[in-house]
């Protein structure tokens, strides 16, 4: 990735040693946050239970103070510059990526922190529009850099909750709390079992040494899918309402497949199928954590493939292109599970592929464009490791 410190100094006319041309010290803080992948659990109602991973693709944010009251934003990857002030800090459609940095600024302002002028530089290499939470990573990296610069005591879980709440108010849309927990609380080369109900994050050291996460963007257009996705959420909510007369205040996480079978007469078939998938995937998160701890890779792979079959047959948000990709992965020796990622109806698949099998996996996708007419984009990533603060008083580097 580009040297964001050098880019920031050049953009804002700071000397290489951090001293501005007026002779005063200009403190630069650089923080980074990873993209994230939810391997299981992302289609269950909140509070959710997820098997997730922070990946080694990043959003980096550099900040430094200004003497005036201006907020300046620079994205060298896009050659774009945005600007505002604390008094005018609000969502603007034309500010696009800068709005995510503004979420973090708004959070600290609401906490009563006195903020004046600041310079921001934002870069990243997280693949876009494939469900890897690239925008959330900008919010997190900005918040971590501000926390470091201000010396503000704010533990990671509390910061995750506060950012999600501020995002909800700022954009008037419901965020996924697990995205923030994964982006803030990851450990080196770990899978994460994330429980939104109690904010617990259990790290499981990856037993997949020598494997790569291969993300394949199907390039299938996803226009007009929001209504279908919302319908499925409403179906699950209806199932909870039907079942909850037996357990006051219950959520779907408190039921098992037998509960749905017992209630078949009270549940329309469509709602039962959707809910059955959600209940099964919640159990798969528990099972996957144990299989990873035992390094039982064949059983783990089977579980991941079963989850995709449920997305296809029960939750019904897959599509022929995605199913074809998962089938090719299943036929490739050295693949430890593959599944659709993201909200559905196109988007991306992930496959856990042994290093020496990646070329074979790619070869098996050669016919995809000829059959479906879309050219897939393939990204190889690993699990995240390393420092969060790259430059600042408490930097490890």
Instruction: Give the CATH number, domain containing residue 26.
Output: 3.30.230.10
116 in a structural domain: yes
Q: Give whole-number Cα distances, 196 to 45, 113, 145, 159, 231, in Å.
A: 10, 28, 25, 14, 22
The number of distinct structural domains making up the chain is 2
Is residue 235 domain-shared with residue 296, that is, in the same domain? yes
- CA distance linking residue 307 with residue 327, whole number of Å: 13
Residue 396 located in a structural domain: no
Domain range for 359:
211-381
Residue 252 near residue 282, CB atoms below 8 Å: yes
Give the global pTM: 0.92
**Catalytic residue flag (residue 296):** no
Closest CA to 37 of 381, 337, 280: 381
pLDDT given for residue 24 in this prediction: 43
Residues 135 and 174 in one domain: yes
Specify the CATH number for the domain of residue 345. 3.30.70.890
User: Which pLDDT score is estimated for 246?
Assistant: 54
Whether 18 and 163 map to the same domain: the answer is: yes
> Pick the catalytic residue: 179, 235, 259, 281?
179
The predicted pLDDT at position 103 comes to 97
**Inside any domain, residue 266:** yes
On whether both 302 and 269 belong to a single domain, the answer is: yes
Are residues 307 and 202 located together in one domain of the fold?
no
The pLDDT, as a whole number, for residue 263 is 59
Residues 161 and 230 in one domain: no
Whether 72 maps to a domain, the answer reads yes
- Same-domain status, 262 and 348: yes
pLDDT attached to residue 259:
63
The Cα–Cα gap between 204 and 212 comes to 17
d(C-alpha 96, C-alpha 109), whole Å: 21
Q: Same structural domain for residues 203 and 344?
A: no
Q: Are residues 234 and 156 in the same domain?
A: no
Judge if 29 and 92 occupy the same domain.
Answer: yes
Instruction: List per-residue pLDDT tens for the chain, 397 residues long.
Output: 889 999 999 999 987 554 454 444 468 999 999 999 999 999 887 789 999 999 999 999 999 999 899 999 999 999 999 999 999 999 999 999 999 999 999 999 999 998 889 999 999 999 988 889 999 999 999 999 999 999 998 999 999 999 999 999 999 999 999 999 999 999 999 999 999 999 999 999 999 999 999 999 999 998 778 899 899 989 888 888 777 665 555 566 666 666 666 655 667 888 889 988 998 999 999 999 999 999 999 999 999 999 999 999 999 999 999 999 999 999 999 999 999 998 899 999 999 999 999 999 999 999 999 999 999 999 999 999 999 999 875 443 3
The pLDDT assigned to 16 comes to 58
Containing H/E element for 120? strand 118-124
pLDDT confidence of residue 25: 46
> Using omega within 30 degrees of 0 as the cis cutoff, is the peptide bond preceding 102 cis?
no
Are 126 and 56 contained in the same domain?
yes
Same-domain pairing of 117 and 147: yes
């Amino acid at each position: 990735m580009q040297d964001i410190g050098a880019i920031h100094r050049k953009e804002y006319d700071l000397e290489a040693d951090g001293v501005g041309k007026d002779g005063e010290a200009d403190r630069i803080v650089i923080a980074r946050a990873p993209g994230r992948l939810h391997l299981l659990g992302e289609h269950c109602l909140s509070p959710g239970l997820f098997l997730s991973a922070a990946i080694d693709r990043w959003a980096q944010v550099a900040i430094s103070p200004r003497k005036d009251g201006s907020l300046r934003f620079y994205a060298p990857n896009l050659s774009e510059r945005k600007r505002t002030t604390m008094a005018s800090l609000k969502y603007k459609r034309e500010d696009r990526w800068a709005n995510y940095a503004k979420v973090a600024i708004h959070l600290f302002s609401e906490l009563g922190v006195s903020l004046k002028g600041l310079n921001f530089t934002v870069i990243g290499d997280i693949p876009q529009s494939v469900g890897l939470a690239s925008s959330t990573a900008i919010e997190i990296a900005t918040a971590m850099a501000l926390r470091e610069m201000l010396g503000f005591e704010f533990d990671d879980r509390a910061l995750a909750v506060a950012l999600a709440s501020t995002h909800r108010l700022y954009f008037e849309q419901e965020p996924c709390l697990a995205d923030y927990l994964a982006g803030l609380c990851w450990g080196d080369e770990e899978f994460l079992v994330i429980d939104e109900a109690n904010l617990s994050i259990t790290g499981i050291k990856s037993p997949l040494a020598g494997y790569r996460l291969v993300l394949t963007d199907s390039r299938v257009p996803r226009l007009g899918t929001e209504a279908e996705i919302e319908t499925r959420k409403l179906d699950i909510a209806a199932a909870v309402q039907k079942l909850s007369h037996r357990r006051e205040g219950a959520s779907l996480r408190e039921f098992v497949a037998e509960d749905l079978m017992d209630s078949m007469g009270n549940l329309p078939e469509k709602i039962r199928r959707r809910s059955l998938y959600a209940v099964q995937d919640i159990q798969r998160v528990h099972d996957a954590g144990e299989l990873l701890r035992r390094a039982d890779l064949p059983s783990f792979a089977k579980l991941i493939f079963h989850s995709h079959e449920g997305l296809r047959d029960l939750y019904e948000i897959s599509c022929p292109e995605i199913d074809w990709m998962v089938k090719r992965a299943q036929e490739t020796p050295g693949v430890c599970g593959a599944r659709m990622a993201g909200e559905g109806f196109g988007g991306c698949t992930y496959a856990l592929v042994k290093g020496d099998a990646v070329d074979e996996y790619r070869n098996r996708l050669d016919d995809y464009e000829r059959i479906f007419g879309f050219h897939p984009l393939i990204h190889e990533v690993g699990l995240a490791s390393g420092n969060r603060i790259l430059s600042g008083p408490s930097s490890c580097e």
